Structure 1
Amino acid sequence: MLGHLLTTFLISAVPVIELCSAIPYGIAVGLSPAASFIAAILGNMVPVPFIIVYIRHIFAWLRKRSSWWDEKIARLEKRAHLKGRIVHKYSAIGLCILVAIPLPGTGAWTGALEAALLDMRLKNAIPSIFLGVCIAAGIMTAVTTGIIHIL
């Protein structure tokens, strides 16, 4: 059981798949919905402060290393700025909504990147991202357990 909790936690910390995959995994291997929910939220939140604080430094360092990285980072920043219009307009509420939508391209990693690129302070970004992660986890738990039927 501890191994499944840890795996659920770790899957949730991986970019792109995040808790959208972690919660179904946890429930599929026999964890209770509540245990999957909590492990996924905690795992999803672990990288957030590090992304907010260090991503700009990492991007600058990578850009100095290669033009290949510069192109990739520029494309990523462009996509982030397009998504960031809602976040910029509605600030903390916009960030929460962006994170709360459990689809690829949204979530805690994207929210943390948006917060960093918009120079949001940790004390404002973390609660918004946490609330969005909790909402997304609730939606995924409800869908996975059949409480909410998508189709």
Structure 2
Amino acid sequence: MIHIILHTFLLSISPFGESRVGIPYAIINGLDPFLALLVGLGANLLVFPILLFLIDTFNEKLWKHKVYKNQSVKLMRRAKNGVGDKIEKYGFWGLMVFVMIPLPFTGVYMGTIAAYIFKLPRKQSFFAISVGAVISCLILAFGSHLGKLGVELI
């Protein structure tokens, strides 16, 4: 059971799936849905402070290097094109809804990058991202649990 919890945590903190992969993985492998929700959500909420620390650190030390600067600008443009209008217009609520929707290229990673790009206040951004992540994780846990129950009935 501990290996399922560890895998759930690692999948939920990774940028390649976040809790969209971690929570269903845990529930499919027999972990209690509430525990899966807690582990997936906890890992997902750690992304914001870790990613902001890394962005600040790397930008401070590497911005002078052309390759880093070019790649950073590309990533920022991609994030800005994907969410720019909504977050600029709606601020807190736009960021929360963007993170809340459990689709590819939405979530805590892109929400954190967007909050950084648009220079939203960090406390406000963390709260918006946290509320969005909680709602997203609840949707995933509930849907995964019901899906598993439906498969077991067949």
TM range (shorter): 0.7 to 0.9
- Shift of residue 111, structure 1, vs aligned partner: 0.8
Question: What letter matches 1:72 in structure 2?
Answer: Q
Please name the residue that 1:125 is paired with: 125
> Runs of 4 or more off by more than 4 Å in structure 1?
none
Question: What letter matches 1:15 in structure 2?
Answer: P
Please name the residue that 2:67 is paired with: 68
- Shift of residue 57, structure 1, vs aligned partner: 4.2
Structure 1 gap ranges (5+):
none
Please name the residue that 1:111 is paired with: 111
Percentage identity across paired residues of the two chains: 29
**Are the equivalent residues in 2 in contact too, given 1:51–1:116 (CA < 8 A)?**
no
Please name the residue that 1:10 is paired with: 10
Please state if 1:144 is matched with 2:131. Answer: no
Please name the residue that 1:49 is paired with: 49
Cα separation, 1, equivalents of 2:53 and 2:94: 20
Between structure 1 and structure 2, the one with the greater Rg is: 2
Larger CA deviation: 137-146 vs 76-85? 137-146
Cα separation, 1, equivalents of 2:16 and 2:92: 22
Question: What letter matches 2:42 in structure 1?
Answer: L
Q: Structure 1 length as normaliser, TM-score?
A: 0.87
- Shift of residue 74, structure 1, vs aligned partner: 1.6
* Superposed CA offset, 1:31-67 (max 9, x none): 01111111000001112023235414424533433x3
Q: Structure 2 length as normaliser, TM-score?
A: 0.85
- Shift of residue 140, structure 1, vs aligned partner: 1.3
Question: What letter matches 2:75 in structure 1?
Answer: L
Q: Check 1:33–1:47 CA distance in 2 against 1; reply closer, same or farther (3 A cut).
A: same
**Are the equivalent residues in 2 in contact too, given 1:4–1:26 (CA < 8 A)?**
yes
Larger CA deviation: 69-78 vs 85-94? 69-78
Please name the residue that 1:90 is paired with: 90
- Shift of residue 88, structure 1, vs aligned partner: 1.4
Structure 2 gap ranges (5+):
none
